[in-house]
Amino acid sequence: MNVMRLKQLLCYVWVSPITLLFLPLLGVAKLSGGKVTLHTGVIEICDGWLGRKLHHGLPLFGAVNAFTVGHIVVGVSAQHLAASRCHERVHVAQFEKWGCVFPLVYGLGSVYALARGKHAYWDNPYECEARAKAAEYSPVNPTK
């Protein structure tokens, strides 16, 4: 096994408790007419009840295009997943870095933003990082 494959396997293991916790979302998606696909090593879920729920809004967050939990990304539709893929892959990398404590760390990032009089989502350092890195991979710069 080469080093890159071993590293990726360790990332899956490191994040697996979070991914496994949210694996039932696959069943919810399939039972409600949603779609489940595997894209670049990440499970992507869209449409169905989950897609409608995201479109109409989540408590505390409102309407969102997509969200990431471990190696699972849930989006409103396939188009929303494609449009947010770079951003959500940054969150996957953040989960791979922090493992099971990432939800806590992310929450603390929101508390930090609020304590500075900023917005809990838009000024969360992990969202800022995701937006910045996703912008690097825009269609204007397809080589990255």
Residue 66 lies in domain = 13-136
Residue 72 domain-assigned? Answer: yes
Question: How many structural domains comprise the chain?
Answer: 1
Residue 120 domain-assigned? Answer: yes
Which of 8-17, 59-68, 70-79, 103-112 is the least confident region?
59-68
pTM of this prediction? 0.90
Cα separation values, 44 from 98, 107, 143, Å: 21, 23, 24
d(CA 91, CA 85) in angstroms, rounded, equals 10
Is the model's pLDDT at 143 over the cut of 80?
no
Residue 144's pLDDT is what?
44
Residue 141 domain-assigned? Answer: no
Q: Which pair of structure tokens corresponds to residue 50?
A: 């989950």
Residue 143 domain-assigned? Answer: no
Residue 38 domain-assigned? Answer: yes
Residue 62's pLDDT is what?
81
Residue 54's pLDDT is what?
93
Residue 4 domain-assigned? Answer: no
Residue 8 domain-assigned? Answer: no
Please check whether residue 50 is in contact with residue 32, taking contact to mean a CB–CB distance below 8 angstroms: yes
Residue 113's pLDDT is what?
96
Is the model's pLDDT at 74 over the cut of 50?
yes
Residue pLDDT, tens place only, 6-49: 999 999 999 999 999 999 999 999 999 999 999 999 999 999 99
Q: What angle do the packed helices 78-98 and 125-136 form, to 10 degrees?
A: 120
Residue pLDDT, tens place only, 101-132: 999 999 999 999 999 999 999 999 999 999 99
Residue 139's pLDDT is what?
60
Residue 125 domain-assigned? Answer: yes
Residue 26's pLDDT is what?
96
Name the band, by pLDDT with cuts 50, 70 and 90, for residue 142: very low
